[in-house]
A and B are shown apart, each in its own frame.
Chain A
Amino acid sequence: MASHRFGEESGPSHHHHLPYALPHMLSSNFLNQEGSSFDFGELEQAIVLQGVKKINNDHDKKQPLIYSSSSTVRPAATLEMFPSWPIRFHHHTPVGSSKSGGGGGEESTDSGSAANTVSTTAPESPVSTKPSSSDHHHLQPPQMDGAGGFSQTHQTAGRQTPEKRREPGSDSNKAVDAKTLRRLAQNREAARKSRLRKKAYVQQLESSRIRLTQLEQDLHRARSQGIFLGGGGVAGGSISSGGAIFDMEYARWLDEDLRHMSELRTAVQAHLTDGDLRVIVDAYISHYDEIFRLKGVAAKSDVFHLITGMWATPAERCFLWMGGFRPSDLIKMLISQLDPLTEQQIMGIYGLQQTSQQAEDALSQGLEQLQQSLIDTIANGSINDSMHHMAVALGKLANLEGFVRQADNLRQQTLHQLRRILTVRQAARCFLVIGEYYGRLRALSSLWASRPREALQMADDNSCQTTTDLHMVQSSQNQFSNF
């Protein structure tokens, strides 16, 4: 719904958008329901100007006139708008927290009649629940000061509080009418303009967001495809979207991973039976089988996307081997984290480290041979023979898919073997360690990306910053050491 969206967008401290959001929310929520001829212009301009007043305090004189005029011009208007909302002068929903209400309170100190207060604040009450609490708190204090407690004003709405209200122009009804009508029109205009402005801004935001995601996708494809096409050969839409699809699936897999991790964590802490734990551990293995399957599919459509690691975070990319993690590195990391192990298990783990290392070396050498062969093919094409050589080169490139598949197969086999060597409980802790490790590696990427860049002058600040970051990483390491 539009109102929800606006609420979300304006939530995080976009204070001056909120007043603009309110009239729109009102119109989308209530006007349709009403279907009456009630003119929101007055209501909106009142609310708009309340918000505007927070920004610039120029509208003091206008508001009281509006309120009084709204009561004189359309005494029953507010009643029409909220038939279910009891307009009782002596009763007010304890709004207290609403910025708009608070604004109304402050403004309404200027107007002379309780009716005005009620008529303006009543409709604001339902609205006041919509703005985010952050905005409440921000705008609440000033209002409270000015109104001497808005809720008080509300609660005692039955009483007129002339001493809190200032009505320079409302002494005589005739003067009020003339000036009021003019101001009314001006305010209506202002409200209309602000509504249009807000609408334009939101539309601009939406289109920029769409453009941004499109740019990101294009960049993605261009990067992965540009290596062998010489960069300039980005053929726009004809590039396979296999990479983009895989990225989406990988993101989903990461979310799933978090879920599995928390399940594992609670399972380990809850001291479940081995049988129950086994189910959870096996589910996690299937989860990893799934990503290897997805990578296999992606390798068919866009192997370069996988090999260059554009689907992974920069820090992970740093350690990338054939489109993924290096199994022997994982085993080495685990050896230090997996105490206590039986002697047989220790031998098994070291054996696994050795065999995975051998397999990695064999695959790496095979890839080197492919690269060398490719270099020869590309370098030795004569002018006459170039197409033939290109065809041969393409054929050789096709082998890359095989290498990535074999590397993923190695990773998968390594994880399965790990599961076989360890007991169920050890395996659960082991997978927690693995998940935690890669979570930190990804977090490291984010921290690195957001580190302050002012090099020279801010060098001290930089070191402070990284120290803080290190503390963050170390604090989570303390949990880690519990294993």
Chain B
Amino acid sequence: MQEAILYRSDRLPTAASAGGSAAPPPENINSTLRELVAENALVVFARKGCCMCHVVKLLLHGHGVNPTIVDIDEQNEADIKNDLSRILGGGVDGANSGKSGAAAVVPQFPAVFMGGELFGGLEEIMGAHISGELVPRLREARALWL
């Protein structure tokens, strides 16, 4: 069974939220996403209604895996991109200040996270699918059990 988590700000725990601010404090977004990525073997960040994302889902389903799909709205897209790139930058903001933007990887959607790490987009999934690497990687990430 697959769960589609709708990324909505009101669902996030707001520790010290300002009044009517729609955007929760950054640390919270970060932690939520971080948890999401770390705890789920296979996470796909996909824009709603995006046909490319549809292709990724089809390919993964074809292998019998059930990825956690994060549907992204237009409004949230920029935020999520930032958050993900911060996560990928390898740590909290303070630790990364030295690296500035050089190490920041801005993921393109659809973005597939496998075993807590960014695997890539449709191109990488396709390449791994053809070369036969995809199944072993899925097994490694415990997304596939057979």
Binding site for B on A (CB under 8 A): 351-352, 355-356, 358-359, 361-363, 365-367, 369-370, 373, 399, 402-403, 405-406, 409-410, 413-414, 416-417, 420
- CB pair A413–B51 under 8 Å, yes or no, is no
Which residues, 108 to 132 on B, are CB-close (under 8 Å) to A? 122-123, 126-127, 129-132
- CB pair A406–B59 under 8 Å, yes or no, is no
**Cβ–Cβ < 8 Å partners of A366 in chain B:** 51-52, 54-55, 58
**Distance (whole angstroms) from the CB of A327 to the closest CB of chain B:** 8
- The answer for the CA separation of A25 and B131 in the assembled complex, in Å, is 63
Identify B126's interface contact among A365, A367, A406, A420, CB under 8 A: A406
- CB pair B58–A362 under 8 Å, yes or no, is yes
- CB pair A369–B131 under 8 Å, yes or no, is no
**Cβ–Cβ < 8 Å partners of A399 in chain B:** 50-52
**Cβ–Cβ < 8 Å partners of A406 in chain B:** 52, 55, 122-123, 126
- CB pair B127–A409 under 8 Å, yes or no, is yes
- In the complex, which residue of chain B has the Cβ closest to the Cβ of A410? B126
**Cβ–Cβ < 8 Å partners of A363 in chain B:** 55
Is B19 interfacial (CB-CB < 8 Å)?
A: no
Given A359-B59, A365-B58, A351-B132 contact (CB < 8 Å): yes
- The answer for the CA separation of A355 and B134 in the assembled complex, in Å, is 11
Identify A413's interface contact among B55, B58, B126, CB under 8 A: B126
- CB pair B51–A359 under 8 Å, yes or no, is no
**Cβ–Cβ < 8 Å partners of A414 in chain B:** 130
**Distance (whole angstroms) from the CB of A459 to the closest CB of chain B:** 48
- In the complex, which residue of chain A has the Cβ closest to the Cβ of B131? A417
- In the complex, which residue of chain B has the Cβ closest to the Cβ of A348? B132
A-B pairs, 7 with minimum CB distance: A366-B55, A362-B58, A413-B130, A370-B51, A366-B51, A369-B51, A362-B55
**Cβ–Cβ < 8 Å partners of B54 in chain A:** 365-366, 369
- CB pair A367–B129 under 8 Å, yes or no, is no
- Interchain residue pairs with CB less than 8 A apart (27): A351-B132, A355-B129, A356-B130, A358-B62, A358-B129, A359-B126, A359-B130, A362-B59, A363-B55, A365-B55, A365-B58, A366-B51, A366-B52, A366-B55, A366-B58, A369-B51, A369-B54, A373-B51, A399-B50, A402-B52, A403-B51, A405-B123, A406-B52, A410-B126, A413-B126, A413-B127, A420-B131
**Cβ–Cβ < 8 Å partners of A409 in chain B:** 123, 126-127
Main secondary structure of the interface of A (DSSP, over half): helix
**Distance (whole angstroms) from the CB of A213 to the closest CB of chain B:** 37
Is B49 interfacial (CB-CB < 8 Å)?
A: yes
Contacts A365-B54, A366-B54, A366-B58 known; list 20 others, CB within 8 Å. A355-B129, A355-B130, A356-B130, A358-B62, A359-B59, A359-B126, A362-B58, A369-B51, A373-B49, A373-B51, A399-B51, A403-B51, A406-B123, A409-B126, A409-B127, A410-B130, A413-B130, A414-B130, A417-B130, A420-B131
- The answer for the CA separation of A417 and B55 in the assembled complex, in Å, is 21
Size category, B interface: 10 to 19
- The answer for the CA separation of A405 and B121 in the assembled complex, in Å, is 13
**Distance (whole angstroms) from the CB of B81 to the closest CB of chain A:** 17
**Cβ–Cβ < 8 Å partners of A410 in chain B:** 126, 130
Listed residue (B129, B130, B131) with the most chain A CB atoms within 10 angstroms of its CB: B130
**Cβ–Cβ < 8 Å partners of B130 in chain A:** 352, 355-356, 359, 410, 413-414, 417
- CB pair B132–A355 under 8 Å, yes or no, is yes
- CB pair B62–A362 under 8 Å, yes or no, is yes
- The answer for the CA separation of A258 and B132 in the assembled complex, in Å, is 32
- The answer for the CA separation of A416 and B50 in the assembled complex, in Å, is 29
- CB pair B129–A359 under 8 Å, yes or no, is yes
- In the complex, which residue of chain A has the Cβ closest to the Cβ of B59? A362
**Cβ–Cβ < 8 Å partners of B132 in chain A:** 351, 355, 417
**Distance (whole angstroms) from the CB of B111 to the closest CB of chain A:** 14
**Distance (whole angstroms) from the CB of A324 to the closest CB of chain B:** 14
Listed residue (A352, A356, A367, A409) with the most chain B CB atoms within 10 angstroms of its CB: A409
- In the complex, which residue of chain A has the Cβ closest to the Cβ of B49? A373
- The answer for the CA separation of A352 and B131 in the assembled complex, in Å, is 8
**Cβ–Cβ < 8 Å partners of A402 in chain B:** 52, 122
**Cβ–Cβ < 8 Å partners of B51 in chain A:** 366-367, 369-370, 373, 399, 403
- The answer for the CA separation of A355 and B49 in the assembled complex, in Å, is 25
- In the complex, which residue of chain B has the Cβ closest to the Cβ of A369? B51
- As a 0/1 sequence over residues 25 to 58 of chain B, the CB contacts with chain A under 8 angstroms (1 = contact) are 0000000000000000000000001111011001
- The answer for the CA separation of A359 and B123 in the assembled complex, in Å, is 11
Listed residue (B59, B126, B131) with the most chain A CB atoms within 10 angstroms of its CB: B126
Listed residue (B49, B51, B54, B123) with the most chain A CB atoms within 10 angstroms of its CB: B51
Listed residue (B49, B54, B62) with the most chain A CB atoms within 10 angstroms of its CB: B54
**Cβ–Cβ < 8 Å partners of A355 in chain B:** 129-130, 132
